[in-house]
A = this chain, B = another copy of it.
Amino acid sequence: MSSTHIVSIYDEELKYLTRRISEMGGTAEQMVSDAVRALVTTDGALAQKVISEDVVLDNAERQINEKAVLTITKRQPVSADLREILGAVRIAAELERVGDLGKNTAKRVIAVQGSGMPRKLARGLEHLAELALMQLKEVLDVYATRSVEKAKAIRERDDEIDAIYTSLFRELLTYMMEDPRNITPCTHLLFCAKNIERIGDHATNIAETIYFMATGAQPEGERPKDDNTASLVAAEPSA
Chain B residue at smallest Cβ distance from A75: B76
Chain B residues near A86 (CB-CB < 8 A): 68-69, 86, 89
Is the beta-carbon distance between B104 and A83 smaller than 8 angstroms? Answer: no
Chain B residues near A157 (CB-CB < 8 A): none
Tell me how far the C-beta of A164 lies from the nearest C-beta in chain B, rounded to whole angstroms.
18
Contact of A72 among B72, B177, B231 (CB under 8 A): B72
Q: Mark A199-212 against chain B: 1 for CB-CB distance below 8 A, else 0.
A: 00000000000001
Is the beta-carbon distance between A107 and B231 smaller than 8 angstroms? Answer: yes
Interface members, chain A 58-114 (any B CB < 8 Å): 62, 65, 68-69, 72-73, 76, 78-79, 82-83, 86, 89-90, 93, 100, 103-104, 107-108, 110-111
Q: This chain: how many copies in the complex?
A: 2
Interface membership of A154, Cβ < 8 A = no
Chain B residues near A110 (CB-CB < 8 A): 231
Contact of A176 among B65, B183, B225, B233 (CB under 8 A): B183
Q: With the chains together, A37 CA to B78 CA distance in Å?
A: 46
Chain B residues near A216 (CB-CB < 8 A): 69
Q: Which of A79, A90, A225, A230 has the most CB of B within 10 A?
A: A230
Tell me how far the C-beta of A169 lies from the nearest C-beta in chain B, rounded to whole angstroms.
8
Q: 4 tightest CB-CB pairs across the interface, nearest first?
A: A107-B230, A76-B76, A73-B78, A177-B180
